[in-house]
């Protein structure tokens, strides 16, 4: 059944990543291997119909392949390394309000299965889930069907997910005072203030946690400390600006919050293997070749 989903994604692709006319649906399609890509993941579920990618977050590395799904429930900087092509995936961007409304309507009748092991946010897709996601993507073949049918199929997908090993995490995603929600608030606070000196006390206050609890829950959820999370955000944005051109490494370092250009150069080289200017030139050259 993943073959039908992969075919539907391939028919409606528009580049590597493409948002679609279906609300909260993004398609990902890749035919040739490319270099690892730095991304800022939002809360989402990725359904992989073909190929495989490795998602690297902090010290964690997860390989997700054909017929599997991956849950990311916090805004987080990641490195995506595609390992098998052709790669086809459908991404459902999570909306807490939609999920909470579904849970309210179910009124306790939603399916439950044992949760995935702690720290593991991947699971196989069931045939019923593959069928629902395929029908969701196929709405792009008949645009007139999107408005009357999309929300109903999305609700079915979420219902199927609640009965999967990832359902436990989706329940916690909607609870305003859960550990999941508090870590999401902490990550959002850091993302909004990443250019500023990091105050762990301020992050803990935003998340309504003690500093010790914040460190424990944040590391368990993301594989990173709050400080390392901020560093990844700074370096990703610095790399994006350098590749875009028109600025110097020193200017970029200051723009993303580094007080010392020397420290920025050191941390950038440690992360990407080359000094900032050389890495940016390499990436620009690689993208020019890939665009040919």
Confidence band, pLDDT 50/70/90 cuts, at residue 115: low
Instruction: Give 138-185 as a DSSP string.
Output: HGGGSGGGHHHHHHHHHHHHHHHHHTSTTHHHHHHHH-TTSHHHHHHH
Please tell me the predicted confidence (pLDDT) of residue 292: 55
Q: For residue 255, count other CB atoms closer than 10 A to its CB.
A: 14
- Hey, what long-range contacts does 240-249 have (CB within 8 A, 24 or more apart)? 240/38, 242/276, 242/277, 242/279, 242/280, 243/280, 243/283, 243/284, 243/287, 245/280, 245/284, 249/275, 249/276, 249/277
pLDDT at 286 over 90: no
Judge if 2-173 and 234-291 fold alike in CATH terms: no
Please tell me the predicted confidence (pLDDT) of residue 110: 53
Q: Convert the pLDDT of each residue in 14-61 to its tens digit.
A: 888 899 999 999 999 999 999 899 999 999 999 999 999 999 988 889
Provide φ and ψ at 178, rounded to 5°. Answer: -80, 165
What angle in degrees, to the nearest 10, is found between the helix axes of 96-106 and 146-162?
Answer: 70
Q: Convert the pLDDT of each residue in 88-114 to its tens digit.
A: 999 999 988 888 888 888 765 555 555
Confidence band, pLDDT 50/70/90 cuts, at residue 289: low
Could you say which DSSP state residue 259 is in?
Answer: S
Whole-angstrom distance, CA of residue 276 vs CA of residue 121: 33
pLDDT at 194 over 90: yes
Q: What pTM does this model have?
A: 0.85
| Cα end-to-end span (Å), the chain | 33
Average pLDDT on 115-133 reads: 81
Confidence band, pLDDT 50/70/90 cuts, at residue 9: very high
Q: For residue 50, count other CB atoms closer than 10 A to its CB.
A: 22
- Per-domain boundaries in the chain: 2-173, 175-223, 234-291
pLDDT at 173 over 80: no
Q: Which residue has the higher pLDDT, 136 or 289?
A: 136
Q: Convert the pLDDT of each residue in 68-91 to its tens digit.
A: 999 998 889 999 999 999 999 999
CATH classification of 234-291, choosing from 1.10.3300, 1.10.10, 1.20.1070, 1.10.8?
Answer: 1.10.10
Please tell me the predicted confidence (pLDDT) of residue 98: 87
Q: Are 139 and 153 in contact (CB under 8 A)?
A: yes
CATH 2.40.37.10 matches 2-173: no
């Amino acid at each position: 059944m993943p073959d039908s989903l992969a075919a539907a994604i391939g028919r409606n692709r528009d580049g590597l990543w493409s948002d679609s006319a279906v609300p909260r649906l993004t398609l990902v399609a890749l035919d040739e291997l490319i270099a690892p890509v730095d991304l800022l993941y939002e809360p989402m579920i990725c359904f992989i119909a073909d190929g495989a990618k490795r998602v690297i977050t902090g010290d964690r590395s997860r390989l997700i392949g054909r017929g599997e799904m991956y849950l990311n429930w916090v805004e987080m900087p990641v490195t995506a390394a595609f390992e098998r092509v052709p790669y086809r995936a459908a991404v459902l961007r999570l909306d807490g309000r939609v999920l909470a409304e579904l849970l309210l309507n179910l009124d306790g009748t939603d399916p439950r299965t044992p949760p995935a092991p702690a720290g593991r946010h991947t699971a196989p897709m069931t045939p019923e889930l593959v069928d629902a996601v395929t029908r969701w993507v196929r709405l792009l073949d008949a645009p007139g069907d999107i408005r009357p049918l999309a929300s109903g199929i999305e609700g079915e997908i979420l219902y199927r997910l609640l009965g999967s090993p990832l359902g436990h995490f989706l329940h916690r995603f909607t609870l305003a005072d859960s550990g999941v929600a508090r870590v999401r608030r902490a990550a959002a606070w850091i993302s909004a203030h990443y250019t500023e000196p990091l105050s762990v006390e301020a992050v803990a206050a935003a998340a309504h946690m003690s500093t010790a609890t914040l460190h424990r829950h944040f590391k368990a959820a993301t594989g990173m400390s709050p400080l390392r999370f901020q560093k990844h955000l700074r370096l990703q944005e610095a790399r994006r600006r350098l590749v875009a051109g028109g600025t110097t490494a020193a200017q970029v370092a200051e723009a993303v919050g580094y007080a010392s250009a020397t420290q920025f150069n050191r941390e950038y080289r440690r992360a990407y293997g080359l000094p900032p200017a050389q890495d940016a030139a390499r990436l620009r050259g690689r993208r020019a070749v890939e665009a040919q």
